[in-house]
Amino acid sequence: MSLFNKLVQGALKQKTAAVYLIGNILAAAVPLILLPVLTRILDTKEYGKIAVFQAVVTLSLAIVGLATGGAIKRHFFTTQDKNPEMDYAQYVAAALTILAITFAFMLALVIVLGPSGEPYIGLETPVIALGVVAASTGFIVNIRLADYQIRGQPLPFAVFQVGQSLTNLLISIAIVFFIFQTAKGRILGIVISSGLVACIAMFSLLRDKRIHFPPKVGMIRDAAMFGAPLIPHTIGQFLLGSFDRFVLQTYEGLEAVGLYAAAIQLTFIIRVINDAINKTFQPWLFDKLSGTNVENAEIVGIYYQLIAMTFIIAVIFGLTSGWIIALLLGPQFAQAGSILPILALGMAFHGVYLFLVNILMYERRTGALALSTIFLGLLQVILLFVLVPAFGIMGAAIAFTVASAFRAGGILTLCHIVYPMPWFNPKFRRN
Same domain, 285 and 196: no
Whether residue 119 is preceded by a cis peptide bond, meaning omega within 30 degrees of 0, is no
32 within some domain? no
265 within some domain? yes
Same domain, 224 and 259: no
Q: Look at the alpha carbons of 413, 417, 419, 424 in this order and tell me if their dihedral is positive or negative.
A: positive
Q: Give the C-alpha separation, 150 to 91, whole Å.
A: 14
Same domain, 414 and 309: yes
Phi, psi of 424 (to 5 degrees): -100, 10
31 within some domain? no
Residue 430 pLDDT > 60, yes or no? no
Angle between helices 44-61 and 243-251 (to 10 degrees): 140
How does residue 59 score in pLDDT terms, banded at 50, 70 and 90?
confident
33 within some domain? no
Phi, psi of 42 (to 5 degrees): -100, 145
Query: 16: number of CA atoms within 13 Å, CB side?
Result: 21
DSSP class of residue 291 equals: S
Same domain, 169 and 113: yes
27 within some domain? no
Question: 329 in helix, strand or coil?
Answer: coil
235 within some domain? no
Looking at 228, 244, 275, which one is the last position of a domain?
A: 228
Same domain, 135 and 5: no
DSSP notation for 274-339:
HHHHHHHHHHHHHHHHTSSS--HHHHHHHHHHHHHHHHHHHHHHHHTHHHHHHHHT-GGGGGGGGT
pTM: 0.74
Give exposure, 242-256, as e/b (b: 16+ Cβ within 10 Å). bbbbbbbbebbebbb
79 within some domain? yes
Phi, psi of 62 (to 5 degrees): -70, -20
Most confident of 30-44, 148-162, 279-293, 337-351: 337-351
Calculate what percentage of the chain has a pLDDT beyond 90. Answer: 25
Residue 43 has a pLDDT of: 81
Question: Which is more confidently placed, 34 or 430?
Answer: 34
Same domain, 168 and 205: yes
Q: What domain range is 184 assigned to?
A: 42-228
Same domain, 334 and 222: no
Question: 425 in helix, strand or coil?
Answer: coil
Picking from 322-331, 365-374, 411-420, which range would have the lowest pLDDT averaged per residue? 365-374
Same domain, 260 and 215: no
Q: Give the C-alpha separation, 414 to 407, whole Å.
A: 11
Residue 7 pLDDT > 70, yes or no? no
Same domain, 377 and 290: yes
Q: What is the mean pLDDT of residues 227-246?
A: 79
Residues 390 and 421: beta-carbon distance below 8 Å: no
Residue 296 pLDDT > 50, yes or no? yes
Residue 103 pLDDT > 50, yes or no? yes
Query: Nearest-CA neighbor of 327 among 276, 269, 277?
Result: 269
Same domain, 279 and 195: no
248 within some domain? no
Q: How many independent structural domains does the chain possess?
A: 2
Same domain, 309 and 376: yes
Same domain, 363 and 331: yes
Question: Which is more confidently placed, 172 or 336?
Answer: 172
